[in-house]
Amino acid sequence: MKRNSIVLVISSQVVSGQVGLKAMLPAFRALELETVTLPTTLLAAHPAAFPKHGTPAGGALPASQMLEMVDWLLDAGALQNCAAIVTGYLPSPEHVAAAAQIVQRLKARNPDIILACDPICGDNGRLYLPQAVVDSLKQSLLPLADIATPNLFELSQLSALSPLNDTRQTIEAARALGVAQVLVTSAPAQEDGRIAILRVQGDEVLRCETARAPKAPHGMGDLFSALYLGLSLKSEPKALGVACATLAQIANRNLEATQLPHGPVNLAPAAIQEKINL
């Protein structure tokens, strides 16, 4: 990887708080990776940050504007050294389609560009984006992805396999996505009080477990996808363990917080990456 390699980051933007783009950028800065950021929405805050004040001001930015901006950046040479793309919050099928077109345009110029797709669509047993977005992610974006980072609920929706109650079922669902690397967050752990992330890559499955925090700040999924992608670009052999341990450290230090801290991301020593055979 070139020293000046760029990551194109496509996700939501908030004015107040640390989710979406603002959750991802500290991870890339910690790894000394340059970013070009493309917002899909502009909101005053995360919808759950100030629940007494209703829906935050702002909304989705035009999907057509995403394509216009990337075309301009390509012509200007700003994406000449793009090594990877990460996609996060895409609020409509039109935004998913625009992201897919962007990926195709960049991969046509450089087939080695990595796409990490965080297929954000729901959590805690419910979708918070329309079913049409789920369908569009399955049909348009995941087939282009090299890495996918769904949470357990998103995996069940995208694979149409549920319920995912144990590790074997989760691995089966991950393989059904047809993506080279699938990292399943909030996966079943071996013991109560713990939480796992599974990396399913062909026949190899790695599991990393950490203590389950009673609460976690918003933006942890965004931060994980950025950390894992960045560590992979740096050829870190324990990328999964470092990303898992760093998230656990942040969660346990911010038990009462609803938002990620504003300081720099300090990478934790790698948690154990266990190879499992099922």
Does 149 map to a domain? Answer: yes
**Averaged over 178-191, what is the pLDDT?**
94
Does 51 map to a domain? Answer: yes
Domain of residue 167, CATH code? 3.40.1190.20
Examine the pLDDT at 257 and tell me if it is beyond 80: no
For residue 221, give the H/E element and its range.
helix 220-233
Q: Domain limits at 42?
A: 6-276
Q: CA-based angle 111:273:218, to the nearest 5?
A: 75
Q: Where are the beta strands (DSSP E) in the chain?
A: 6-16, 34-45, 58-60, 82-87, 114-117, 122-123, 126-127, 147-148, 181-187, 194-201, 204-211, 274-276
Does 1 map to a domain? Answer: no
The residue behind tokens 């992608």 is: 229
Does 103 map to a domain? Answer: yes
**DSSP secondary structure string for all residues of 257-273:** -SB--SS---PPPPPP-
The answer to whether the beta carbons of residues 265 and 29 sit under 8 Å apart is yes
Query: What is the structure's pLDDT at 192?
Result: 86
CA dihedral 23, 145, 119, 14 (to 10 degrees): 30
Domain total of the chain: 1
Peptide bond into 261 cis (omega under 30): no
**pLDDT tens for residues 215-247?**
778 899 999 999 999 999 999 999 999 999 999
- What burial class does residue 98 get, using C-beta atoms within 10 Å of its C-beta: 0-12 exposed, 13-18 middle, 19+ buried? buried
**pLDDT tens for residues 95-105?**
999 999 999 99
pTM of the model: 0.95
**Averaged over 198-224, what is the pLDDT?**
92
- Over pLDDT 70: what percentage of the chain? 99
